[in-house]
Amino acid sequence: MTRFDAPGAPGAVILMLHGGKPRSRDLVGNRSASWQRSAWMARSIQDRAHDAGTSVWLLRYAQRGWNGGSDRTDDARWALDAIREAHGDVPVVLLGHSMGARVAVRVADDPSVVGVVGLAPWWSFEDPVDRLAGRSLVAAHGRRDRITSFVHTRRFVERARLVAASAELIDMGMLGHYMLGRADRWNDVAIDSSLRLLAPALRGD
């Protein structure tokens, strides 16, 4: 776990979940491109998060692969327990890229989670929306993505609207999967959306 903690006692946490591969038992090292992209984003958004009294935590999975999902969701639930141990019952937004967004919607039923932000998410008809009940969802996807599907994301968001408190799709235009082109825009969407979903809880609404 990599932590960018706000000074004092944070009022909320953004838990970042990085991407990976459909199948791999390799360990996630410091040279993992998926982890590095999320670590770079975490460093880029931490100041704005801290100004809002919010910490940013980045989970490092035990292995790179989805591998059916259960191990990666266990990793995320361990991280959510670690946040409660460190900061109590603060509200959490899950900020996931690609496979990380898939992990996020699988653990969104955790009592600390108020919402999910998915960046170029890897979602399909197999992914449940019921765990988003009462939570908010923001998805951002580019139309030049050749790794995950803008259309699948749109369909997932449409299904999520049936149960979620809110569900929104941000069209990133002609951007690709890896968040390298217009990284500044990806960063803005990530932090703006995360803080917007956290705002009601931070205000005590």
Q: What is the pLDDT of residues 143-175, one digit of tens each?
A: 999 999 999 999 999 999 999 999 999 999 999
Report the alpha-carbon distance of residue 162 to residue 137 in Å, rounded.
Answer: 12
* H or E element that contains 176: none
Q: How confident is the model at residue 132 (pLDDT cuts 50, 70, 90)?
A: very high
Identity of residue 4: F
The residues spanned by each domain of the chain are: 2-122+178-203
* Tokens coding 202: 């931070």
Q: Which residues contact 135 (CB under 8 A, 6 or more apart)?
A: 108, 113, 114, 115, 116, 164, 165
Q: What is the pLDDT of residues 82-120, one digit of tens each?
A: 999 999 999 999 999 999 999 999 999 999 999 999 999
In this prediction, residue 202 carries a pLDDT of: 81
CATH architecture designation of domain 2-122+178-203: 3-Layer(aba) Sandwich (3.40)
In this prediction, residue 201 carries a pLDDT of: 84
Q: Going along 26-160, which residue ranges are E strands?
A: 54-59, 92-97, 113-119, 136-141
